[in-house]
Structure 1
């Protein structure tokens, strides 16, 4: 056996071992309750309170309910007081847990001092950084973004700065107590360069990398920090798409994502989204970034949103007549 033959054999063996290990890791995702078990007191053992940003609807609302159902008092944060008050009443009546409302506009720069003061005396065990903003549902090139300067500031404040500031608020006490859980909501489009949603995608890459770096720094302190990277979830930001095997309701997504809290510093939150993430990474970027595909995607989203607006316009008069 010559040297080149030996090199190819070793290379082939290394590739088999690598993909065998990846397959083993993937197979664990099929059985989260067995592979990543959580005790009944897992959440309450972290602390008395859970804090959820962007809690008024969608994924944030689902997390607030789910954490209260698991015995935690919850702090819900958003900029719409009426919606938060109604949600607080619903959670309180359904679970019997305490609910604290904090009205905050995360697009502003001067909101965090007041938040820190209101959270100061709470024993916070869980933080869910969910608040985020998508500049436009309809994809467009960076320079075509409406009110670009204002949008840049808004995306950085909501999607990036808020997450870091909230981690800064809760981490010191978690470090002292040597326990805590931080969940930072990223996005599936952070897994590869995603044109036409450039600002949003780039901000979600930051969320994912920041979370994983922070976990490496504080894992030895007993703190779990995880980036959750979903693809399709039927929320207002996603245009309330119909739910199916890939597009989950916020409640179903949160339910499955909680089963993977011990699965590592990054998870897609469901087996379907994990498989989709692997599939997307196998597609060459030249295909994903082709002008044909980008134009088709832009046309498809525009057509779908126009159709939805027309349907809303048709149903509105009939609804008014009923009243």
Structure 2
């Protein structure tokens, strides 16, 4: 299939477009859009108007702060609220509005909406982010029920650890997967229903997290330990990245 890729950084988009084109021989269309901004969708709709889009992947998202923080401690809170809602919530609904009519007319299509494992419980210190991902899940599940009889699969994928820029390129292990490995795993569950965690280990993590009483998970000591853990991980990743020997290959730190 030919591909349309959208993000806010043209240099990075052009690089990825070249890689896809060189590897697959398919056409790649680049659309530059900052989904944290207002009123970006009319231009996107114009550029997609004549294309028969069979697969839509809504993977855009932003984390207000990698280091856990209380809601009122977030820097530039008013702007952050707007950006998170625009990027994580509004974009999802708008892109489905643009793409879904064509899928309905053709009687087939796939929409994959990327949520997060943290949406499975109320998640303090990532409150705004996790709440936005709850919207992704409920919206996707509702749409799936509405359009499954039209031949359209609409699925939420809710991963936990994936070694991406948003996760400070954490070292991969049994729990934290590389983007490539996670995609290969999650695509196996495309027909498994309206929601998947994308891998067996992430499904187990979701089950464990929901099994622990919230009184324990929300205890002040647990929140304090979570914050300290992420701060240490962030500092370690920053120090390694600053080393002249550190390189990245396919999302993995070497």
TM-score class, shorter? over 0.9
Of 9, 16, 26, which aligns to 1:80? 9
Per-residue deviation, 1:309: 2.5
Task: Determine the structure 2 residue equivalent to 1:89.
Answer: 18
Give CA deviations for 1:283-304 in whole Å, capped at 9, x if unaligned: 1111100000000111111122
Of 71, 74, 85, which aligns to 1:145? 74
Instruction: Name the structure with the higher helix share.
Output: 1
Give CA deviations for 1:28-51 in whole Å, capped at 9, x if unaligned: xxxxxxxxxxxxxxxxxxxxxxxx
TM-score normalised over the length of structure 2? 0.95
The equivalences for 1:109-148 within 5 A come to 109-148=38-77
Per-residue deviation, 1:130: 0.2
Of 210, 228, 236, which aligns to 1:299? 228
The equivalences for 1:116-265 within 5 A come to 116-265=45-194
Per-residue deviation, 1:178: 0.9
Report the RMSD for the aligned CA atoms in angstroms.
1.4
TM-score normalised over the length of structure 1? 0.75
Per-residue deviation, 1:317: 9.6
Give CA deviations for 1:91-143 in whole Å, capped at 9, x if unaligned: 11100111000000101111100000000000100000000000100000000
Separation of aligned partners in 2, 1:237 and 1:288: 23
SS at match of 1:97: coil
Q: Does 1:309 align with 2:238?
A: yes
Per-residue deviation, 1:279: 1.2
SS at match of 1:260: coil
The equivalences for 1:280-299 within 5 A come to 280-299=209-228
Structure 1 residue runs of 5 or longer lacking an equivalent are 1-71
Q: Structure 1 residues 185, 317: closer, same or farther in 2, change over 3 A? A: closer
Runs of 4+ in 1 over 6 A off after TM superposition: none
Per-residue deviation, 1:312: 3.5
Task: Determine the structure 2 residue equivalent to 1:54.
Answer: none
